[in-house]
Structure formats: C-alpha cells, structure tokens
Structure 1
Amino acid sequence: MSTFADLNLHERLVRALTELEITEPTPVQSAAIPEALAGHDLRVIARTGSGKTAAFLLPLLHGLLQHSRPRTDTRALILLPTRELAQQTLKQVEALARYTFIKAELVTGGEDFKVQAANMRRNPEILIGTPGRLIEHLEAGNLMLGDLEVLVLDESDRMLDMGFSEDVMRLAALCPEERQTLLFSATRGGNAMDRVAQNVLREPKFLLLDTVRDLNESIRQQIITVDDVAHKERLVQWLLAHETYDKAVIFTNTREQADRLGGVLRTPSLKVFVLHGEKDQKDRKLAMDRLKDGGVRVLVATDVAARGIHVDGLDLVINFDMPRSGDEYVHRIGRTGRVGGEGTAISLIPAHEWNLMASIQRYLRQNFEFRIVEELKGKFLGPKKLKGNGKAAGSKKKKLKKKTDGKKGGKKPLKKKVSPKKADGPRKSRPDVPDTKGGFATVKKRKNPGSID
C-alpha cells in the first residue's frame, strides 16, 4: 500500500493528511491500520519515531466517524506515561480531526482539577491522559468508562517502568469487555509487559516491526571518554559551540545534575532550558514550546523527556550520563533521526561507565564510533585491555590477588587439637591400672572422720 487512500480511511481524514502533506504511510502505519480497522486487538512493537501515534489515531478516528454516537460518554481513552507526550498526542488528534466534529480533552497532572472535571462532563469522544490523574478523577466520580469502545496504551513499556502498572490494570478493568485495545511500545518490555498484554488484550495480532537493536541508520552514534564531571562540562560546552545542529537535547540521570549543567551552559549568547519531574507544569510547557518554536536551541533533561519529545529539527543528543539500560539508550537517541531525519548521538564515558557502555553496545549489537576531541583530550582514553565482550579486562596482578584472597578466605582443613603436654614433649604412658582381687578394685582405707556428734 503506497498511499493513505489505499488504506480505505475516511475521506475527511485523508483530506487532513493531504493538507498536512502526509501522503505515504510508514511501515508501522501500513501494518497496523488495516488490522485495527478490521477490529482486532493489537500489540505493536516499533521503534521510536516510526509514526506509531498516527498508526493508532487514524483507525480510532475512522471508527468514531463511521459509527456516530452523539449521546454517549467518552468513546476512546488514550493512556500515556508523561504530560508532554499526552500534549503532543492531543495536538496530533486536533490536526487529524480538523475536518470532523470529534472533540478530545487532556487529563494530566499539573492542570486545574475542577476545570478538567468540567471538560469531562461535556462527554468528549476522546480522553488523553496519564494514569495517575485519571485515577484521581475516577475516585472523584468524574470518569465514566461505560461507553468506551477503544482503549489505547501508548508507550506502554515506559508506563510500566514508571510504576503505573496497577493504575493501568485498574482503568482497563473498568472498560467494557467488548472494547478494542491497542497496545503500542518501542520495546518488548519483558515479563511485566507480557502480563499486562495477557490481561488487557483479546486474541491480539502481534506486529513486531522493529526490535531495540534496529536503530535508525541515519543516527551517527559516538562515544568520547572523559576524566571527571568538570571535564564533561567543558566537553559539552565545546560540542555545543562546534557541532552543526539546529536543536539539541542533553540527558542527565539526576535532577540535581540537570539543574547544575543548565546553569553551567547558560550564557548571554546561549539560552538553555531545563526539564525534569520537579519542574512546574507551566515551566515544562514553556520549555517545550520554546524548543519547538526555535526560541531555545538547547534543552537539558532527565529521562522524563526521553519519551515525551517530538521536535522537528532536533538533530543532536548528548548523553552527559550514560543511561542505565539499552532500552533507555534507544529512547534517548530516538529523539533525533525521526521519520527519515538525520542526527548525531554522543555519549560521554568516564572510566566507571565504560563497562555499562560496553554492555549497551553488546545488547544493541552495534559498535559506537570512538572519538577524541584533541582540544580537550583527557587522561582516560579507554581501558588498556579489553575482553571479548568489550568490557575492561583486569590486570594479572589483580586476578592473582583475588585468587590468593579467595584461597585465604576459603575453608581451611580441620586440624586435630594438640594438648599442651603433646606439644611440650613425647607422649607419656598411661597411669598403672589399679590392682584387683577377683575382679574387684582394691578398696582404699579411709581415715576415721571422728564422731558424728
């Protein structure tokens, strides 16, 4: 199928796509849309930036248009892990439904609870929200799911990582059993994801478009070795000054480091925004809006933004701290090189993170490009010796020491206790056996103890 018209979508949706200059479906859209239109439950795994959002929005909107039910409660619920991703999904719904009367509302934390409740009472066809805030509305009696026709779990692997498993299962249990459920993720998600899929899906079609190892070939992946945090900060400043990019995101592992780095990088000529979970909703929204409209070119963020950023022109990702897993690495660098674009991902690697980097490299079955910035060349240039798996090989001295320490700390053979007499000299003979008469020992005579009185 080469065009959206071939997918038999509603003409109003095709018109909106044409106006948006979107004419050819991506592989995930070509695979998922026909199955969703046929009414199947879906479990879809496709890499970040492959067009997953439109893959579930188009069949969802088509179904709502085909079967109009104006006097009902909410007909579709879309669950997402972060506010930013929910906001972007709402904008895509509004863009695709511009020639329809379908209404959607956003239900996330950080916004006025009473205003959200009032909007929900208007019975919008689509609710887009995060699990935590939706549970709050459910307990307040504002969330009605009795008429729900479609449940979408987007970035479901991330929702489980963030601890929303129980909330997701609770919301799904309140939906009608005859609903259609569409589950989308960028990674398989392990056993936890399998359990959720087993509970919420009915005879699903499983579409594996990509694995985490199938990264976008247009993303150039590099590593630069560093000595310490100060060396990292100087390298980031150098990269932002010398790399060719339109917009950049720098990822840290902690909020404290994000705030510190934002202060270090901010200069009169370089505007930098910081985004993490402790930021107020207004500040988070402002950061995203300024990044999108070009008012700010650099964003320092924790992983809260790894699943919530879709910005055109974002072509540089820097891992100030190495992510803790291969899946998180995929989601971070997936912010660049989206839908055919090109980008660069640079990871700064100190000695204590070399083995972590090697594990991620091995997990993805890819070799990262080693790069040296001559102007800021550090002392650490990688381990002297490497194992076959790319990790640092310990020295022979350390191995011998460990081996010796192991022997010392092991179980020692039991030794027979030696009495002091034994140690002092030769063993003495036993004392003489007492004389016996007829088998009875000789009775010793005792002295008269005196009168009892």
Structure 2
Amino acid sequence: MTKFSDLALSPKILKAVEAAGYETPTPIQEGAIPHALAGRDVLGIAQTGTGKTASFTLPMIHMLARGRARARMPRSLVLCPTRELAAQVAENFDTYAQNVKLTKALLIGGVSFKEQDQLIDRGVDVLIATPGRLLDHFERGKLLLTGIEIMVVDEADRMLDMGFIPDIERIFNLTPFTRQTLFFSATMAPEIERITNTFLSNPARIEVARQATASETIDQEVVRIKPSRRDRTAKEKRDLLRSLILREGDKCTNAIVFCNRKTDVDIVAKSLKKHGFDAAPIHGDLDQSQRTRTLDSFREGKLRFLVASDVAARGLDVPSVSHVFNYDVPSHSEDYVHRIGRTGRAGRDGKAIMICAPADEKLLDAIEKLIDKKIPSLEMPVAEESEPRAERPKRERRRKTEKPAEAAPETPVEEAPVVASEEISESAAEPVESRDRSRDRRDRGRGKENKVMGMGDHMPSFIAMSFEERKAS
C-alpha cells in the first residue's frame, strides 16, 4: 500500500501531513501528486470527497518552497468557484505549509479591497481567488499575472454551471504560456473538454472513478410526494421534510438540506427553526461574514441543520455529515452527485434522501440515468407523523378548553323556577305599561297600527305624542 512517504514530498510537508492525521493517500492523490511533482499538466477527474484539494496543494507547496515572491506578482494561482471553497483551500495551505515559509492571499468577495491590496503589495507565493474578485483586482491595476508558475482550476464543472467559463478563459490568456496547469473536475462536460484541449499541454489524465458516480457508502432513497392541492405543495413538502428527519431519529446527527432557490433556503430554514430544529441558511445573497459564521458553527457541531443552495454543494469539506436531504430535485443531474457527496466522505457511511414532486419526475429520471442506478423509493410517512409540531399544541389546547356537549349540566324542566305573574312587583310592572301606552299613542298619531322598529324601548314617551296630545297635556 502506497503511503505519503512514497510520493517524494519534502520532509517538512510529510511532517505536516502526519500531524494532520493522514498516512495513506487517496487514489486521486496517489495518481496526481507524482505527475505534478514532475512538472506535467494534470487533468484530474474524481467524484467529490475524494481528496482533490490535497492532490494539488501538496505538490504546490513542495515546488514553491524554492524561490521568493515579488510585489504584485504572485507565483501561483488557485481558482475556485465559491468563496467557501476558496477559504477551505486557504485552510489546507495553512495546514500543510506550517513548516514552510510561504505567503498567501485570499481574494474573495465580501472582504475589503484595501486589506487584500496590502497583501498583494507585499508579494505572495500563493494566490487563492474567485474569478470575479481576481479580475476586479487586475482591472484596478493592483495585480500582475505574468509571474504565475503554477495555475490550478478547482471544481471546473461548477465554474461552468456558474457561468465563469469566459472569465476562466480570460485569466488563462493573462498567465504565461509556460505555466504548469492542474485542472480538477468531478464531471467532464463538452465545454470543459474544450478548455482542457485548448489550455493544457499533454496533460496526465487521472480518473479514479467513473464520471458522475456517487460513493458506494451512501444509502440513497427518494420519497414521492402527492400534494393534496397544487398550491399546498411547498407546505406539504416542509411537513414531509420534518417527518423524514424525525424518522431518522438519533442516526441523523447533522444534515445539509439542499434547495434549488435562495428564497426557498430562507423559508425552509425558518420553518425548521420554528418547529424546534436547530437550523440556519447559507446562500450567495447572505453577507460573507454571516456565511462564514454559519459554516463554522456547522463544522464545529454547534449547528445541526445547514439549509443551503448549491453554493455549498461543491468542495466543502465537512467530514462527518450523516445525512443529506434534497428538499428539491436538482435541476442539473450532475448537481445531485455533488450534493450527496457531502455525506459518506472518507469511507464513512452516509444517507441521502430526496423529495420528488410529480413535476420533478423527468429530473429524477435524468439523475438515475446519469448515475446508472435506480434510486430506491421510500414510503411516504403517514399524515400523523408529518403534522407540524406547532399545530399539535394548539389542537390539544382547543380540545381541553372545549367541553363535550353531553358533559354540559342540564337543568330539568320540572326543576326550573316558575315565577307567577302576580309575584311581579308593582314597581317593575309600571315601566312596561308606560312603554306600551307610549307606543300606542305614537302609532295612532302616525295613522299606523304597526310598531316602528329601531329606537327600541328607550324612546321617551313625549317624543311619540301627537301635537294635539302635547297641547292638551
């Protein structure tokens, strides 16, 4: 069995790897690191969660240990599709380069330009960036890419999905032709194939798993929901999601819930929190500091449920995610592989459960065709299990406060007190007779026999008197 000590890495790097708790490289690391150390271009194709990040960070640290960076001219560049993935790559460099004097800068959105400019001005060996922020610095004249020796493109297929391919091509053209390129992706779409043919020179192709396959350690299930009404689909899906979580019980130590739309991410997170589940949202519209805090809480085990858009589907390394719930069937079948790849990492067991509405059947068929596997169907939980917790106490309270009709005390007719008319006091009878006389006079004055409705028994008697009656009195 190959060990890291067999890969010709420097002793300082091996010491850092050992301190991180790793001894045996993954297949992608074992295949890519020797070619990268030899200076060849590398095209790595592997499913998510197989250790692609270390397969380029370790050889980069080894090769960059010799030399020194110049101001505004970084020596290497790592491009990542999302801020979270870029920050994770930066953490990997900190871990593996702790015994080597290398400088780095992280260029991502949501952070002050001034702080990033100061790092670039001092000169950095490793520049880790998202394409948009990198080009912002370049166009402001704060950055030169002519000194790039090694260029890495991580999660290239995600770059394609997010529309970054024109930016990637422009960045390639700004770097020297003599650079070494390490290109990693989980899938190889035709557009990705075109870029590799254009910008990579005779690359060593390392493919450790069939394209777009899910790890065998992940137990996959799908639940088909049939809403009672079309306009109640979203609510009933949220009810079903909570039922599925409760069904898993203690086995669900933590989970990522994926939604297709950012608005749904917020709604589902709020719903889970309302029903007593420890949940928080993460998507591209949130402030970067909030996204970082939420992700750190989830990694540290302080947050149980992370409700996310596909911004969190690629490359995020949270080793012990027990479950992935697909609240929505992903629009792109490749995204399904990346989503469920958040669980079952590093040989661990994981579980992925997907909710499929009738309108999503075609998307489900595309996923099963891509992974070449029929996803087992799970029986939908009974209605009682999917009842929202917040509604149960309300119903219980109503039941307690409402007394059954048969329990209401009844007074027998023969026991009801009977009051004789002669028992009515004289003082109580007089006002009634006075009111009757007033009504009679009012009706005679108007020439009507029927009583006028509206003023009731409170109308003073003199108002109903005719003019002659008033004059006579």
The TM-score bracket by the shorter chain reads: 0.7 to 0.9
* Residue equivalent to 2:346: 339
**Residue of structure 1 in register with 2:239 after alignment:** 234
Match of 2:361 in 1: 354
Distance 2:126 2:149 in 1: 10
1:11-30 map, 5 Å: 11-30=11-30
Measure, in 2, the Cα distance between the counterparts of 1:43 and 1:288: 30
SS in 1 for 2:184: strand
Query: Structure 2 vs 1, CA of residues 308 and 214 (structure 1 numbering), >3 Å: closer, same or farther?
Result: closer
Give 1:281-296 correspondences, 5 Å limit: 281-296=288-303
Higher helix share: 2
Structure 1 residue matching 2:241: 3-state secondary structure: helix
Q: In the alignment, what sits opposite 2:285?
A: 278
Partner of 1:38: 38
DSSP 3-state at the match of 1:262: helix
TM-superposed CA distance for 1:317, in Å, is 0.5
Once the two structures are superposed, residues 365-396 of structure 1 have per-residue CA deviations (whole angstroms, 9 ceiling, x without a partner) of 11111111443399xxxxxxxxxxxxxxxxxx
What secondary structure sits across from 2:106 in the alignment?
A: strand
SS at match of 1:207: strand
In structure 2, relative to structure 1, the CA distance for the partners of 1:246 and 1:270 (3 Å cut) is same
What one-letter code is carried by the residue in structure 1 that aligns with 2:222?
A: I
* Residue equivalent to 1:199: 198
Kindly state the Cα deviation for residue 201 of structure 1 after the two structures are TM-superposed. 0.8
SS in 2 for 1:181: strand
Deviations 1:216-238 (A, max 9, x none): 10000000111222221111112
* Larger gyration radius, structure 1 or structure 2: 2
In structure 2, list runs of 5 or more residues that go unmatched.
227-232, 386-473
In the superposition, relative to structure 1, how do residues 377 and 184 fare at CA in structure 2: closer, same or farther (>3 Å)? farther
Q: CA deviation at 1:105?
A: 1.2
How far did residue 307 of structure 1 move? 1.1
**Matched residue, 1:258:** 265
Paired AA for residue 24 in structure 1: T
Aligned to 1:122: 122
CA offset digits 1:265-319 (Å, max 9, x no partner): 1047422110111111111111101101111110111111111422122111011
Residues 70, 122 of structure 2: 8 Å contact kept: no
Residue 50 of structure 1 aligns with an amino acid whose one-letter code is: T
Does structure 1 conserve the Cα–Cα contact (< 8 Å) formed by 2:326 and 2:353?
yes
Paired letter, 1:203: N
Give me the whole-angstrom Cα distance separating, in 1, the residues matched to 2:70 and 2:289.
Answer: 34
The answer (yes or no) to whether the contact 1:213–1:365 under 8 Å persists in 2 is no
- SS of residue matched to 1:314: coil
Task: Structure 1: give runs of 5+ residues left out of the alignment.
Answer: 379-453
Residues matched between the structures, number: 376
What is the aligned partner in structure 2 of residue 185 from structure 1? 185
> Residue type of the partner of 2:192?
M
Q: 2:213 touches 2:337 (CA, 8 Å); kept in 1?
A: no
- Letter in structure 2 aligned against 1:2: T
Match of 1:300 in 2: 307
2:330 aligned residue: 323
Determine if contact 1:221/1:344 at 8 Å carries over to the other structure: yes
Post-superposition offset of 1:212: 3.4
Q: Look up the equivalent residue of 2:181 and give its one-letter code.
A: T
Aligned counterparts, 1:74-89, within 5 A: 74-89=74-89
Cα deviation digits, residues 57-106 of structure 1 (max 9, x gap): 111111112x3235573111000000000001100110000111112110
With 193-202 and 314-323 compared, the bigger mean Cα shift is at: 193-202
Task: Evaluate the alpha carbon distance shift between residue 157 and residue 374 of structure 1 in structure 2; reply closer, same or farther with a 3 A threshold.
Answer: closer
Letter in 2 for 1:273: A
Distance between the aligned counterparts of 1:58 and 1:192, measured in 2? 28
Q: Is the partner of 1:250 in helix, strand or coil?
A: strand
How far apart in 2 are the matches of 1:53 and 1:266?
Answer: 34
**How far off its partner does 1:363 sit?**
2.0
Q: CA RMSD in A?
A: 1.6
4+ residue segments displaced more than 4 Å: none
Please give the alpha-carbon distance, in whole angstroms, between the structure 2 residues aligned to 1:377 and 1:193: 48
Q: Which residue of 2 aligns with 1:166?
A: 166
Identify if the C-alpha distance between structure 1 residues 213 and 377 changes in structure 2 by more than 3 Å, giving closer, same or farther.
farther
Aligned mates of 2:212, 2:127 — CA distance in 1: 33
Q: 1:427: which partner in 2? A: none
Aligned pairs for 1:140-151 (under 5 A) are 140-151=140-151
1:16: how far off?
0.3
Measured at CA, do residues 265 and 320 of structure 1 come closer, stay the same or move farther in structure 2, by a change above 3 Å?
A: same
Local SS of the residue matching 1:266: helix
Q: Which amino acid aligns with 1:96?
A: Y
Equivalent in the alignment of 1:310: 317
Q: Contact conserved, 1:84 with 1:309, CA < 8 A, in 2? A: yes
C-alpha distance in 2, partners of 1:374/1:290? 31
Moved more, 202-211 or 155-164: 202-211
Per the alignment, residue 385 of structure 1 pairs with none
* Secondary structure of the corresponding residue to residue 106 of structure 1: strand
Q: Verify the 8 A CA contact 1:3 1:24 in the aligned structure 2.
A: yes
Deviation at 1:126, TM superposition (A): 0.1
What is the identity, as a one-letter code, of the residue corresponding to 2:153?
L
Percent identical residues:
37
Comparing 127-136 and 165-174, the one that deviates more: 165-174
Equivalent residue number for residue 414 of structure 2: none
* Counterpart amino acid of residue 235 in structure 1: L
Q: CA deviation at 1:325?
A: 2.3
Q: Read off the aligned partner of 1:23 and give its amino acid letter.
A: E
Do residues 245 (structure 1) and 222 (structure 2) align? Answer: no
Measured in 2, the distance between the counterparts of 1:152 and 1:235 equals: 42
Q: Contact 2:278–2:305 at 8 Å: present in 1 too?
A: yes
Contact 1:12 1:100 (C-alpha < 8 Å) held by counterparts: yes
Amino acid at match of 2:16: A
Aligned-partner SS, 2:122: coil
Q: Secondary structure at the match of 1:256?
A: helix
